[in-house]
Structure 1
């Protein structure tokens, strides 16, 4: 089976082929690789967490390790936030930081999650926090603990409490899912017997745009994740595809073939008549805004094979961005606007690449053969992408040097089209 996005490009007269498309998983994460500089941290099991279904400490460990910035050390001692810890001893065991906490059920059914973070190098306490949450929010609480630890130790925001959207194919059913950043928990936003592709987050994190084939053609929809209400944004003659929100959330860039070849347009987030941006003799598609809103990056075969280009967000002169290789698609721009991730074809293998936009320096991130759909975490430290491993379509995250990779495991269904959501939840 063709992968839906590449199949759509082929249907537009463009390029490329590929293969297929999870059910929500239990907590399982596979992490591979070794980073250059990592903070050694010991995270003890939270007191009494074994009585309840959410392994708080294990989630925090996995979150921090997935970032590539932390290395977990064994912490088998019975500790909690009230313990008198000998930080000198922990420093002697190689730990720069120590975390211990507890989980308690309150009389009203809510849970009290408490923890402390100690700096073993400076022999001091850095954090002491308590969170009272509903049972349904225990996983989110664990991710927020990891975010707080991450920010305290690195000075930058963590992304563990953010969300990703992706498409699941199970048999003849397609689902648009929104989950925690580790691929678990969350909700099913849409179920359809027809393909769903290209989810794109609104900057407020409350809406998703996506392409659905339920009308037997590619149509762009926008859906409110809180209410489930959805509406058609673009259903013009021909194909309507590849939505991308502007940073202010007021409009979207889309690919329309209403006037013949697929070209770029903008359309108000409330709908209405589109404004044409490009008029080329080739296929123009897969637009994405730069974080400052000044540029739109996109893919075009106007020069022969597909390459990444950019143009001013209001239209104007087009500049080519990628020059190495004859097939480069699926651009994603880092939150600081300095890096471009994309998929390149190398000897019939589709692989994830990152390019410094100032110097043009290229860094290959993978050695797999069927990568697709890169998307940056909102802090710019990680990328999520789809690939095929051991006969299954899976989602992976990678650090920007390619050294730490995490597979988001599921129970067997195929996962595709990931999009990492913004901060705020």
Structure 2
């Protein structure tokens, strides 16, 4: 659990060089530039703005298609999920329960929000799916007590979600469920009884990419078809660790981080490959640690975190040219980024 401090959320003024009326944010992230973790946004022109300020810890931002930001703050001694407008104004909760809440994720249409809610007395966690307009709530329960920690992922049509949760043996597995709570299905235990990590649903809703713990100092990238349950190991012949796989918007490519190009098997680079395992490319190729890749809304870039400056900063690499650039250069840390859903660009 994050060590949340007392919150004070308000819209902050533009930073130096920031346009008076910025365009809709394409990226939200956490920055430590002011000392406390705050939610920042960046638009497509590179303008940055802090949306929270003051003492506190603000974490796990999630951008909606229309620019609103869901995030985690502290209220009454516990972390809760709040939603604020694109300019940082009007933060409010979307639920009224007494649970500890975490890891929000928006449906692509921006109407529905999913997050984990943990009963503080029992430690049991459920997945809440909330219509932010009507406040109607659907609650998803699983055999085990724990869920997450990564946020649930959505299909592009908003009808299906994927998330990690404990099975009856208290091992993390990949699950899928319909938005209305029906069709709960566990996908990973037949292939990897030791457990799963980093599960994400393809935008077309047909496949889940996830990481399998297969011992021998390695973790593999697995793709499982939702309907048939058939699984394919994309990294069967690689003695390396693989992390944080993310689908491109067309469900054709996967970005991920891996130690596969480090002779010592310790440092991760950012890679991409087609969903059949072909066209493998090392996108970052740097002696420092690169990790947590996510596709930009237009699919032309992969945005990732790197330690190459001595702190954690956000970089983006052009997938075609390989050109890499830092998004903001400073002496502190940026992390935990969220990209605005591609659905907004199609409207």
Give the TM-score normalised by structure 1: 0.54
Which protein is bigger by CA-based radius of gyration? 1
Q: What residue in structure 2 maps to residue 26 of structure 1? A: 15
Residues in 1 aligned to 2:331 and 2:128: alpha-carbon distance in whole angstroms: 29
| Number of the residue aligned with 1:416 | 336
Distance 1:26 1:176, change over 3 A: closer
Matches within 5 A, 1:262-341: 262-271=172-181, 274-280=184-190, 281-302=193-214, 304=216, 305-323=218-236, 324-341=238-255
| C-alpha displacement of 1:313 | 1.8
Deviations 1:210-233 (A, max 9, x none): 557795776645567x76979685
Tell me whether 1:247 sits opposite 2:159 in the alignment.
no
**Contact map agreement 1:395 1:418 (CA 8 A) in 2:** no
Deviation at 1:286, TM superposition (A): 1.9
Counting matched residue pairs gives 279
2:27 is matched with 164
Q: Tell me if the contact between 2:164 and 2:175 (Cα under 8 Å) persists in the aligned partners.
A: yes
Work out the CA distance in 1 between the residues paired with 2:287 and 2:2.
16
1:154 aligns with none
Contact 2:249 2:342 in 1 (8 A): no
Deviation at 1:414, TM superposition (A): 3.9
Cα deviation code 1:279-330 (max 9, x no counterpart) = 2312112222223322111111146521111111224121011244411111
Q: Is residue 2:302 matched to residue 1:388? A: no
Other structure's SS at 1:247 match: coil
- The equivalent of 1:356 in structure 2 is 274
Deviation at 1:249, TM superposition (A): 0.5
Task: Verify the 8 A CA contact 1:373 1:386 in the aligned structure 2.
Answer: yes
CA distance in 2, matches of 1:188, 1:245: 17
Q: Is the 2:199–2:211 Cα contact (8 Å) retained in structure 1?
A: yes
1:358–1:351 distance in 2 versus 1, CA, 3 Å = same
CA contact (8 A) 2:161 2:201 kept: no
Mapped partners of 1:168, 1:231: distance in 2: 31
Task: Name which of 134, 139, 158 aligns with 2:22.
Answer: 139
Unaligned 5+ runs, structure 1: 5-22, 29-52, 55-134, 141-160
- The CA distance in 1 between the partners of 2:134 and 2:309, in whole Å, is 35
Report deviation, 1:369. 3.1
Q: Tell me the residue number matched to 1:113.
A: none
Q: Secondary structure at the match of 1:424?
A: helix
Q: 1:344 to 1:25 in 2, by over 3 A?
A: farther
Whichever structure has more helix as a proportion of its residues is 1
Alpha-carbon distance between aligned partners in 1 of 2:26 and 2:15, rounded to the nearest angstrom: 17
One of 284, 288, 313 as aligned partner of 1:369: 288
| 8 Å CA contact 1:177, 1:189 repeated in 2 | no
Which has the higher relative contact order, 1 or 2, with Cα contacts under 8 A spaced 6 or more apart?
A: 1
- What is the alpha-carbon distance in structure 2 between the residues aligned to residue 397 and residue 207 of structure 1? 29
Following the alignment from structure 1 to structure 2, what is the Cα–Cα distance between the partners of residues 177 and 336? 28
